Structures are given as structure tokens and as C-alpha cells.
Structure 1
């Protein structure tokens, strides 16, 4: 199996090639599923990983992994591939595959990720034109293959070069008259230009398009799941009730993010306790601080991130789910999470200077010199500036340390799923081929069968079902099937009992207990005349 690379980030053809190679080398363990086609015709691949010797994936509890939900987050793609690679190459993980299936989507936004890596463009996912006058339409104007920035001199310009680092453009202070001032916009053409300063295009953010707490804004999709990639992801998750947990890899300030669907004081106590306990475990294994999504923003003031994957996973799916922020440019220069999140404009200027110096020392390029260009609408402009893709991404070699730790948590998290056993099964002969069958169904996993008690919509909650599977018997109970809404973790149990009449030829019966998030367990019970 090919080794993963840590010196650069994967583009579509590369990571799809890895998926196909892994599938060809492990055809019984890996199945590739195309969830949909992107707007540019790429396949949205999901890798189903499962040990078929213990049954199909849909008959087991499952763990869901996704990455590349944002275009400028290439390290997450590598993190997802590392999980897939580890499951098939590390012997100690093979036992986990016998009882847990994995669904891995290495890159939710193949179109945007390739665009960000090739054009070095500042984009969350994709642009959506509004067809307004003076709307900037990003594109390569000077033919260098990138979509960077444009600047032109104007005494009314709002930007100027940093006095100590001319590569860095900074905001003009009120009353400042010293130096040369510029207008600064993204490289591109301007729709119906009338001489007014261009306005930025509308940017669609996939992680603001989940329907839970969705609100229309400048970055949400037209309506929840209107983007084909997001709709396909949602349809897969809802149609697979065996998923009990998952992660969503992003690339920002180091953090393990938990849902902020409700304020903690309004959260179901058991759900909050489970979320915090597993989150703290992630903090220990990965080394990143556990945070709530509403505290994960610059300035330190709580802010609602409407329509995100964590809230969807809790409120709709009812699973144990975290967003893992594996890092970006500012973490590569050694900044801690609290330093980044509490920063203001001035400190971020200093951080960018340090980032430039960091890449200068290593010979990696994050700045394109300004070059004069004849713009068809603006006349003479300069094109260049920060190469946002390289500057925003973490320094690739950092992945060698971070990625194995994230895999360590994911596989530990996956091992904590609900797990049914059948204990104390017995058949007592009552005479004349009448028997009383008793057993206890227990959950020895670290999560309840519902996983979240209040989280999850009603259609996603399934009962634990227990029944006898055997021909040649008559079940005398009023109900032949036992059910319970949920079994608590680490010892939750249900006592079951049947009275049956068995034919002379019947010597055993089978007790079968099942739940989508655990799969099915069976126990043979011998019928012996006393």
C-alpha cells in the first residue's frame, strides 16, 4: 500500500487514486461509493471499510468520518486518509473492524479544494453570483495561474504597506496622510462596473448549510442542503441509522469542538456529561483544547455558528460527534489557541509578519510580488500579494505529528460504541415439552444504544429488539418480541422471558438481540427434558 505524503496536500486525482489503490488491494474490506457528482463533474467518494467475516457494514454499528468540508483545509483530507490507511495496515485495529464499520469521506468539496490549491484563492467553498452591479467576479487577470489580489493607488485608498514589512497590506488609520494608499480587492473582473469600488462576491460556506439553526446570511447556501455535495452527505447519514459517532476534520486554530446546540445550563445533563467526557479524552489524546463551537471565534466573544455539522449531528442524528481543528498557518508558527482566538487586528498583523518570516526561513512561498497589469475595467493595477492557500494552510510537515494523534482518538472513540451481549440465558423444562426461556440483554459499551438521550430526531431513535429465532416452537407469551427504548452504557440491561412449546425435534432455540448501532448478537439455548 502506498505511503501517505506529508510534504504537500492532496488534490482530487491524487486522493482518488489512493482510494482506488487501497480498494484494489483490499477488495473485500473496502467498497467505494459515489454519493453524487459535484457541479464540476467530480465524484464525491465515500469509502466503506468493514471486515466482511463478521457481516456486512450495514449490520454493524458504524463510525463516520468526513474532511475537506472547506476548500482551504487540505490537512483534513490527509487526516481522513490516514484513518483509512491505519485500519488496513495496523494489526491491532483489525479486531475493531470486526464489530465496527467505517464510512470515510476524504473530501466533501473536491471542486473547491482543487481550486484553492491551484489558484491560491481565498474561498470557503464556492462563489455564488448575485448579478448586482459592481460585483467582483474572481478570476486570473494577469495569466499567472493564480487568483490573488489587485491594488491600485488612490489618495482615498483604505490600505497601505506595513512600514516594516512592505509585503503586508494593513488598514489605514483614521487621519493618516503619510505614504502611498491603495484600494485592495480580490483579483477579477467587475460586473457592470460604473466606477464604484467593487463589492466582494457572495461566498457559500458548506458548514453553514446544515438545517439545524440555519439562518440565511451572506455565506449560507440558498437553502439547507441546496448544494449537491451537502444533500448527498445528509441523505447518506440519515439512511444509515447504524452510525453512532463521528468526526469532521477542519483546519483552524487547534481545538476539539463540541456542539453548542443549547447553552450548557439547558442541555440534557446526561448528554452534556457524555459529550464532555469524550471531549476530554480527545483533548488528552490529541493535545488540543476542548471548546464549545460558540466560543470558537476571534475576539473571544461567544458567537452562534448557525447551520454547522456538530449541531446537525446532535439534534438530528443523535450521535457522539466532534469537529477537530487540526491546525493552519498560525499554529505552524507556534501560536496557542488562546493567543489566536483573543487576537485583534494589530496582533494579527504581527502574526502575519511572523508567518512570512517562518516561510522565508524554509524557502516556502506564501507571497507573490506585485506586478503591473492592464485591467480591462480599472486600467493599470498591480496584481499579487499573499498566496492565501499556502498562507492559510498549515506547514505540511506539521501533519507528521498531528495526524497520527487524531487517528488515535478516532479509533478510540469508535471503540466506545454501544455493544450488546446476551447473558444468563437458560431454558427450564416445565413438562410436556413446555419451556421457560430467560436471558439478560446487556450493553457493555461506553455509549447508550440511543447514544444521546435528548439529541436525535424521533425518526433516528430505534429500540433494542429481542426475539426468539427458531422454527418448530409455539411462543405462548402475549408478545413474542421484547423491546426497550434504550440501554444505558456500561451495564444497562433488559431481562427477557418466553414460555414456549417445542416440538420433539427441536433441541435448541436462538435468542437474537439487535439495534442498528450495535448490530445483532445471538445466543443458542439448549432445550433439555428434565
Structure 2
């Protein structure tokens, strides 16, 4: 019997392998048909798995991915970054670039999956000869850091937590100032890996079991007798101070540590010692400062289905001036089309004040157009608005589509302090995190938004080189340099604060006598650059617009115009 079972298993395996061959597959549109690195996108990966995926992708696509580390986490983990571009075409660090990171908050783990999915999709579609992606990676570079909080990510995945904790990193802090760091975190009383809720029977309690769903506790009416009291999240008072779960791992917020409008902890709760005092953030800053070609950025958070731009606080509202807001609005409105249920919002105006946020430092400090997408929206549960993540919908969705897998059933427990109680409630992987079957779909849509953002970083072209004899052995060489995309080579914030050096338009092929920017070609109005006239400094090449420059030259007949822009890349043309 065992012999026949083994033969059947071998035959089944052979059939399965044959079914995975390219000739046995009908490719679904918009998806890599036969990826070199197959990955299941319906689950979450810890740091070891993220490292493995990054290394496999880099090994499978050496001409597209350069894998390196930008630094170490507090616990010594490498902070991996994938530089994704067509490395056979130009220097990746001189192409307009999109920076993407995820998981700055430890419980917001799907940001890493979305960042990884973006990397995987780009290289696998390139390998599948998708011309759109091939053209994109010839022009642009993506710098993708899947997780910038790997220590706390692993803590969330491998330790018992609620869906909402922890948000922090793992640098030890004495949260309740009793002289002991992190001594009273969650206790997983039943050892199931999830911190759920504790309830206790009490005729004077304010809760009863929902008659329509025995899993759910509802508040009794003012004239009703209660059945239960809610004791809070699963745990024990370990330090004897009368409080349960009040002093967990860390207390600082990595997204309050950035050096733009930073405020100390007594003003901005969650701030650490000083700006960039958290090593993971410092590593990101060092990388960004060394890569002035970064023109766009995305930081993935959860949840609520939001496309967020700054400012984080009302005090900073004048930083985001009208010219840049027009660019943000155009990108954000497109994002709402690509991401059903997501809303384009401004942090301080539509949510709350944030001081020292990553979003504001990228834009305010570096002039980079940056969004933070808050991933996952209850709209996706039934593809309708109005009941996003309400308690009713959480229970019905779990019953209708998840087969009640999101809920830990109530069960009795003998608590050392509360006596006879019951433990139960939603798992840590529900309410804030995507259910598996919706993870890839939303990852793809968010990837598409980041690609749209990256596509609209500057693309420079020299449209015209006009050479005219003007007498006395001089030639007038006029060049028109255009920007074919929405995003300018310098944001208004960049120009206002002189963050990045001007774009340089230079001429070779003759002896330059004078150089100038042409303000009005029809009327002959120019602004001469008297120092170094060969290399004309241009303050900005606006999005979907152009600049005109001119030289007076002695000698030569063959001229080459070169453009060098930190955020706009390189362009060259000869007459």
C-alpha cells in the first residue's frame, strides 16, 4: 500500500511541476507570467525572510538590482536597500530617483510587503520584456528599503501583541519612570501569540453578549442589567503598581524623530532624545543626503486608506507653497483613482499635528515630493464606503469572507489577580493588517501609484539647438531644454532654501565668449551669466515646460549641449 501511495505522490508531483512550465501557463495581464523568484504575496515576512527575498531578487536580476546595506538597526540588523534600475543604461545614482520605505512603525508591517512587491514587480516585469517597465528603469532609479524598523518588526511578528502595539522601536525606555525599563509589557496568558481581551462575569457590568453574534460584546442599555465587565487587554500587573500592560517595549515614536520642526517629548509625545537620535532614521538620512538624485519619496504606514502629504503641523503651513501644492494635488488626485477607498489628505488639517515626521523632513529639508500612504481601508471589505472598519463590519466580514479565522474564541482562564475570567477577541493580524487575499491587490495598486509618482519625476530633453552667424567671427548658439514630466527639477521649497545646486547647461565645440539665460526669445530679453559663461546655471526647469539658454561663441561648427541636473538627470545633444 505504501508503495502505491509513494508512486501516486511522485506522479502528482510530476504533474504539478509540468503545470508550472511556461507552456502550461496562460499569463494574466499585468502580472509577471513566470517570475524568476516566485513569492506568495498573501502573507507577512519577518526580517530573515525579507533578507532572503532581497538576496534572491538581487541574484536573479544582477543587472537590475544592487543590494547593499545603509546601516544597522539598534540590535545590529542590516538595513537593506535595493537600488533598482537598468544598470546597463547610465549611472543609477545620476537618474531621477524614487525612494520607498516601509514599516517605520513596528505594527505597520504591510509596508514592507508593499515595498518588496514593488521591487519584485519591477524586475520581474522587466525580465518579462514589458516595454513600459523597461523604459521606466532606463530613465529612473528606485531606492527601496523594505523595513526601517526591523528589530520591532520581528518583535511584533514573533511576540504576542495586539493589532495596535507596539508602534515603537526597541531601544529600552523606562516608560513609567519607576527605574526599570520595559518591565511590564503584555503577557500572553494562553500562549496563542495574540493579545486579546479579558472579560469577567459581573451582573453590574456594562456589557452583554450580542444576541446575534456570541463572539461580540455590546454595551447594555441604560435600563438593562449587565452580564460582563471588560478588564482590558490580556495581561498581568508584573510590577505591582496596580496597572496592567502600561510599560511595554519602547515608548518613543520613530516618526517623531526627524529633523524638521522637531519638538521634545513634553510637546510632541513619542519624541526621543534629539533629531535623528534613532540609528535607523540616521541611516536613512545619511543615504538620502548622499543621493541628491532622489526627487520623489513614499513611506508606507497603516491604516485608514489615506494618501498623506504634509505639513504635519499648522505652524509649517507656509512651507508648502502654491507651486508645490499644485504638483502634490495632481499626484494625490491620481492616487485616489488608482486606490479605491483611499483619500488624499493633509496631515495637520485632516488628521492631527505631527512634529518631527519623516514626511516633512523629506520635503522641508530636502525639497522632495513625498507621500505617506496609510495602507488598508475597510472600504475593501465589501467595496463600499460608509462603514469602514466599524465593529459591525469587522464581525460580519470575518464571518462572511474569513471563515471566522480572525477571532480567538472566548475561553475560561484563572487569572492570578482577577480570578475567573475569559480571554478572547480579534487576532493581532486583524483590523489594521490586510487579510491575505486582499494583500496582493492593494500592494499592486500602491505600487502603481508609486510608479506614477516616479514616472513624473523630471525627464530632460534638448529639443532644439539653433546656430546663427552674427558677424565678427561670432556664432549665436541657442538651446531649448525641456522637462517632459510633471515634477520640476527643483521644488519651490528647494529654490527658496537653496537646498540643491542649480541645473547646469554647458556647451562644447567652440570658445564661449558669453552665456545667458533667455527670458523672452521673441523680444530678445536675456540675463547674462558673467562668471563661467560656458556652464550656465539654471535655477529650475519647471514641470511640463522648458528653459532657453544662449551662448556667443568663437570658432567651431559642431556643438554639443549637455545638461546636468541633480534631480533631473543628464541630457545631451549635438547639432
Interval containing the TM-score (normalised by the shorter chain) = 0.7 to 0.9
C-alpha distance in 1 between matches for 2:110 and 2:334: 22
Distance 1:239 1:179 in 2: 62
Q: Which residue of 2 aligns with 1:144?
A: 191
Q: Distance in 2 between matches of 1:200 and 1:498?
A: 71
Residue equivalent to 1:476:
513
1:203 to 244, 251, 257: 251
2:85–2:92 Cα contact (<8 Å) kept: yes
Superposed CA RMSD: 3.5
Out of 326, 339, 342, the residue aligned to residue 286 of structure 1 is: 339
Whether the aligned pair in 2 keeps the contact of 1:157 and 1:183 (CA below 8 Å) is: no
Counterpart-to-counterpart distance in 2, 1:397 and 1:181: 35
**Which sits farther off after the overlay, 58-67 or 407-416?**
407-416
Higher relative contact order, chain-length normalized (CA < 8 Å, sep 6+): 1
* 1:203 to 1:339, Cα distance in 2 relative to 1, 3 A: farther
CA separation of 1:198/1:18 partners in 2, compared to 1, >3 Å: closer, same or farther?
closer
Structure 1 contact 65–103 (Cα < 8 Å) conserved: yes
TM-score by length of 1: 0.83
Indicate the residue corresponding to 1:449 in structure 2. 489
Shift, 1:125, TM fit: 2.8
Q: What is the CA distance between 1:381 and its match in structure 2?
A: 6.6
State the SS of the aligned residue for 1:414: helix
**Deviations 1:378-424 (CA, angstroms, capped at 9, x unpaired):** 78776554322344312111123222222222222211111222232
Q: 1:413 aligns with which of 441, 453, 458?
A: 453
**What's the offset of the Cα at 1:204?**
2.9
In structure 2, the residue matched to 1:17 is 52
Does residue 32 (structure 1) correspond to residue 67 (structure 2)? The answer is yes
3-state SS of 1:454 partner: helix
Instruction: Give yes or no for the alignment of 1:271 onto 2:324.
Output: yes
C-alpha change, 1:203 and 1:357, in structure 2 (3 Å) is farther
State how 1:36-115 maps to structure 2 within 5 Å.
36-90=71-125, 91=130, 92-115=132-155
Please tell me whether the aligned partners of residues 136 and 199 of structure 1 are also in contact (alpha carbons under 8 angstroms): no
Contact in 1 for aligned 2:100/2:299 (Cα 8 Å): yes
Structure 2 distance, partners of 1:209, 1:142, is 34
User: 2:496 & 2:150 partners in 1: Cα distance?
Assistant: 30
The structure 1 residue matched to 2:399, chosen from 339, 349, 357, is 357
How far apart in 1 are the matches of 2:224 and 2:241? 28
Counterpart position of 1:312: 361
Residues 155-164 or 43-52, more deviating: 155-164
Rate the CA distance shift 1:305–1:159 in 2: closer, same or farther, 3 A. Answer: farther
Distance 2:124 2:254 in 1: 32
Deviates most, 93-102 or 34-43: 34-43
Task: Tell me, in whole angstroms, the C-alpha distance in 1 between the residues paired with 2:471 and 2:495.
Answer: 47
Q: Which stretch shows the higher mean deviation, 223-232 or 24-33?
A: 223-232
C-alpha distance in 2 between matches for 1:210 and 1:156: 50
Question: SS where residue 190 of structure 1 aligns?
Answer: coil
SS at match of 1:116: helix
Query: What is the DSSP-based 3-state SS (H/G/I as helix, E as strand, rest coil) of the residue aligned with 1:249?
Result: strand
Q: Deviation string for 1:488-527 (max 9, x for gaps)?
A: 121221222132345xxxx7443211111121212234xx
Corresponding residue for 2:175?
A: 130
Do structure 1's residue 322 and structure 2's residue 363 form an aligned pair?
A: no
- Normalising by structure 2, we get a TM-score of 0.77
Residue by residue over 1:231-268, the C-alpha shift from the partner in whole angstroms, topping out at 9 and shown as x without a partner, is 21122122211111122222312222222357698552
Tell me if structure 2 keeps the 8 A contact 1:373–1:381: yes
1:141 shift after superposition: 5.0
CA contact (8 A) 2:202 2:227 kept: no
2:296 alignment partner in structure 1: 245
Superposed displacement of residue 46, structure 1: 0.7
Determine the C-alpha separation between the residues in 2 that align with 1:161 and 1:126: 37
Q: CA 1:437–1:409 in structure 2 vs 1: closer, same or farther (change >3 Å)?
A: same
Distance 1:378 1:40 in 2: 36
1:47 Cα deviation after fit: 0.4
* Rounded Cα–Cα distance in structure 1 between residues aligned with 2:542 and 2:481: 11
Distance across 2 between alignment mates of 1:229 and 1:275: 27
Structure 2, unaligned stretches of length 5 or more? 1-35, 515-529
8 Å contact kept, 1:283–1:289: yes
Aligned residues: 504
Q: 1:213 aligns with which of 238, 261, 265?
A: 261
